[in-house]
Amino acid sequence: MAESGGAEALENVPVYEYIDVNSKPFHIGSFRKLWLDALKPDYYSYTETPQEIQDIEFIEEMRIDEETLDELKTICSVERLRCHSENNPPDTDEIPAEPKLATLKLRKRRQDYKKTLLRDHVGRHDAYANEMEVLAVGRKPKDPQDLVPEGELILTFNVLYPVIFERFKYVRPHQTHHVLGSQKLTDLRDAICCVNDLQVFGEFSETPNMVPQFISKDHYKSAFFFFEGTFFNDMRFPECRDISETTREWAKTYDFPEFHTARMEDTVFYDLKVKVGYPYLYCHQGDCEHIVILTDVRLAHRDDCLDSKHYPLLTHKHRVVTRKCSVCHLYISRWVTTNDALAPMNPCLFCDQCFRMFHYDKDGNKLGDFKAYSYVDPGAFN
Ligand SMILES: [Zn+2]
Ligand SMILES: [Zn+2]
């Protein structure tokens, strides 16, 4: 690759900056171009090469004749791996009670151990998490127009919990998204769901039925990604502001190198020059900060989800324990009260039903003195 493009090409081939940690910055679009220049189109084509052509190519590459190929096919066939005929398959789970072979002894020990792990209930969440990854594999679009073009890049982004969530600092990422190189940064922004976007501000103890339907996301639309010295601001709506300004002004007074700004909605991932494995920043709602890490850049494969409408594709979502109502311990909390003489603790969480039964008479009059705020449980995303 270096021969064809010289120094400029080398610059865009990712190499480690710190071994096994992160790469040096490289331009994603140029990196893709290097790949497409170096690879034959049928290497990344979605159509599978017919068997006859594969055979001819194999014969040429290995410099063998046709008979040798046939012989190889017979010797290496899956059939040769079977110890019983297909019509009379053995019960592979059946192991003699006292096996003599070391491999069988190991297998029996493993099998006995597995039996002790059996639980009589199904983990619905685990099944769902697994499904999420598997469902999209090899999915083809209904409309051919939506097909992810051959030679498109798929980027994997890990989005971590908000930095203030101390508890989740060391657990798996909150979400993993696959995005297409040709997508805009705003597509990823819209795909990231954070509990802070769903908050409703205000105190509603006097008017619990008046909790507005609009959420923080509708009110405070400004956000930015920070990649390699550039703040990419979301400026799609008239009420959006450049919330990186304070940071940039502050940096100027402390002799930092100058930071740049760009528009999130005008930037596609191919335009980015970034490091793989390096922690970058996504900031929204003024100060809700998430670490964002690009973990993988690769060409789309025929086994990937090929429906571009499904991108950004959510492939992993960490789940958290939901906070239950402190009265019934059954339903997920919807309200949080403070200075509440009726509550066992301060602040205190309630489900909607318990909150109303506890704090209002049958005509809806407020009982006692307390403040009530709407509560969105982080586990609501599970
Ligand atoms: Zn957030
Ligand atoms: Zn309750």
The model's confidence at residue 1, banded by pLDDT at 50, 70 and 90, is very low
* First-residue to last-residue Cα distance in the chain: 45
Q: Residue ranges per domain, the chain?
A: 2-68, 82-117, 125-317, 335-381
The model's confidence at residue 251, banded by pLDDT at 50, 70 and 90, is very high
pLDDT of residue 236: 95
Please, which residues have CB less than 5 A from ligand 2, an ion?
325, 327-328, 331, 351, 354
**Whole-number Cα distances in Å, 235 to 190, 219, 272, 283:** 13, 14, 18, 14
365 Cα to the center of ligand 2, angstroms: 19
The ligand with the least distance to the CA atom of 334 is 2
197 Cα to the center of ligand 1, angstroms: 7
342 Cα to the center of ligand 2, angstroms: 14
125 Cα to the center of ligand 2, angstroms: 23
Q: In this structure, what are the phi and psi dihedrals at residue 26, rounded to the nearest 5 degrees?
A: -145, 155
284 Cα to the center of ligand 1, angstroms: 6
The highest-level CATH class for domain 125-317 is alpha beta
pLDDT tens for each residue of 94-106: 777 888 888 888 9
pLDDT tens for each residue of 48-94: 888 899 899 999 999 999 999 999 998 888 877 766 666 666 666 77
Helix and strand totals (H; E) in the chain: 10, 15
pLDDT of residue 119: 63
pLDDT of residue 138: 84
Separation between Cα atoms, residue 249 and residue 239, nearest integer Å: 21
pLDDT of residue 87: 67
Amino acid, single-letter form, for residue 89: P
pLDDT of residue 317: 83
Residues 6 or more apart in contact with residue 270 via CB below 8 angstroms: 28, 29, 32, 153, 181, 182
Query: Is 50 exceeded by the pLDDT of residue 2?
Result: no
pLDDT of residue 8: 63
Q: 5-19, 149-163, 233-247, 342-356: which range is least confident on average? A: 5-19
287 Cα to the center of ligand 1, angstroms: 8
358 Cα to the center of ligand 2, angstroms: 10
254/170: higher pLDDT: 254
